[in-house]
Amino acid sequence: MELNAYKIRGFKGGIADDAYKGVLGSFRFGYGLNIRSENDTLKCNQALKKDSGSVVTDLILFFVTAINGNLYGFGNTGKIYRRNGSDSVWSLVYTDPDGAITGAAEYTNWNGSNYVPFLYWATETKLKRIPLSGDWSTDVSTFANLNGDPGSHTMTMAVGVLMICDGQYLALVDYEGNFNDKALDIVPGNRTKCLLPQDAMVIIGSTRGPKIEEGWLWTWDKIKPSWIVRRMIAEKGINALIQSEFIIAQAGISGSLYYWDTANLVPLKKLPGGGWVEPGAVANFKGLPLLGVTGSNKCGVYSYGRLNKNDPYALNLEYIPSHGKMEGVSIGAITVHGDAPFVAWKDGSTYGVDTVDDTKKAIGRYEGLVFDAGNPFVQKSYRFVKLLTKPLPQDCSIEIYYRLNESGDWLKAVMEDGAESFDKVGKTKAVFTIETGDPDEEDEEDGMGETYEVAVTLIPTGNETPDIVAVTTLFESAELL
């Protein structure tokens, strides 16, 4: 019987919403993959490495990249860390006696004699600060009292002032050092959670608590006595906002991403496995928005966007934490510092801050869409998987896995010589044998399947990575339905 070919060529579509279909080049799931190369091939992304050593001992919820070249992290038990800009050494510089820090920012304003940059941060009921050049042992002060919110005091500079989430209010500090604890009062029952500066206004995301499917987006310009526009999303609150080519709002606990332009609201994407993004777990890196996902069995740092106008908007799990786990992990804060992303995480009682390892690629995993050849009612037997690659670097390898009818564990394919991986240096072709059943033999029917999935594991070495051009599976259909 003549064999048919299932061809996978092109990978820029990213993670699909549907297991069976997606935009051109999309796949069911993957991680550690570079899908945005110029040649549209599949290769490994850079790995993350732990940067903080044993210094960080709580979950950093907000980073501040300061103008003095230092990176500051603000933890969920009140610890404040500094990564020195001159030698990249982490240190614990202060522990706030009032506990969890739920918002932080740098802002320049009047200190009584000069305009100087300050680090501001908030605990549940207090707003504190220190001059950027100050002494942590003597110069920390309580700047103001807040109305109080145990969840979020996200801060950002918008329309020339420092705005601070504070329960149903927005508080603000202006350039002259004046403080207003109730600069904006949104509808009672709503709690401000995240902020995004946008032109001559600020966008606010709010929640009504973990049990109410109602999150709101608001705009305000600091001048009008009340909010200007508001829009409801039927999710458990707005958790995070980020600006890329457009505004992305992450809402609820099921991984929903939305587009909003202050007029039109459009659902964009669902994160695989659900979850949510903390207010400080967003950043822009080399033209792509990064989102740190918590509350999923597929936690990590995702990107959503495109690098060229002719590319699709793609979702990709760019990085998983340096200890290699995606489940039971919390991603606290993300920032870009010194042209590299930094990612704070928690795993049980272990904490850390990761950054990109420029000398090491990550293991990449690609899992294709469910394939049925347009005939989901026809059984099929699958014979071979052929790889076409760029010349394979030394000590790199590729493994092939497959699964029928979306059930059971992934099965590992082997090559004709019995090898379980393709590791031939400089070679560009490899054939793996599957042999899932013979349609001409009645007793082989159980080894056949109506649907098929192929997965590829790319194993790098150092900074060298396999580079896959195409994956082709040869199969034949049975007459038996």
The string of pLDDT tens digits covering residues 146-202 is 998 888 999 999 999 999 999 999 999 999 999 999 999 999 999 999 999 999 999
In the chain, % of residues over pLDDT 90: 90
Mean pLDDT over the full length of the chain: 94
Return the pLDDT at 211.
86
pLDDT band at 446 (very low <50, low <70, confident <90, very high): low
**pLDDT exceeds 80 at position 471:** yes
- Whether the pLDDT of residue 451 is over 70: the answer is yes
pLDDT at 438: 62
In this predicted structure, what is the pLDDT of residue 258? 98
408 band by pLDDT with thresholds 50, 70 and 90: confident
Residue 445 has pLDDT above 80, yes or no: no
Q: Is the pLDDT of residue 443 over 90?
A: no
Q: CB count, 10 Å around CB of 144?
A: 16
Task: Count other Cβ atoms within 10 Å, centred on residue 263.
Answer: 7
The helix or strand, by DSSP H or E, that contains position 201, with its residue range, turns out to be: strand 201-207
Query: What pTM value is reported for the model?
Result: 0.95
Which pLDDT score is estimated for 151? Answer: 87
Neighbour count for residue 210 (Cβ, 10 Å): 9
Residue 38 scores a pLDDT above 80: yes
Note the pLDDT of residue 442.
53
pLDDT for position 149: 87
Give first-to-last CA distance, the chain, whole Å. Answer: 17
pLDDT at 1 over 80: no
What are the CA-CA distances from residue 476 to residues 136, 335, 375, 381, 439 (Å)?
71, 50, 12, 5, 8
The answer to whether residue 145 scores a pLDDT higher than 80 is yes
Cα–Cα separations (whole angstroms), residue 300 to 274, 323, 478: 12, 11, 42
The burial of 188, by beta-carbon neighbours within 10 Å (0-12 exposed, 13-18 middle, 19 or more buried), is given as exposed
CA pseudo-torsion sign 376, 475, 40, 335: positive
Q: What is the pLDDT of residues 305-354, one digit of tens each?
A: 999 999 999 999 999 999 999 999 999 999 999 999 999 999 999 999 99
pLDDT above 70 as % of the chain: 97
Residue 326 burial (CB < 10 Å; 0-12/13-18/19+)?
middle
Give pLDDT, residue 37: 87
Question: What's the confidence (pLDDT) of residue 75?
Answer: 98
For range 113-137, the mean pLDDT: 97
Residue 32 pLDDT level (bands cut at 50, 70, 90)? very high
277-286 per-position pLDDT tens digit: 999 999 999 9
pLDDT at residue 440, as a whole number: 56
Q: What pLDDT does 480 receive? A: 55
- Confidence (pLDDT) at 353: 98
CB 375 within 8 A of CB 452: no
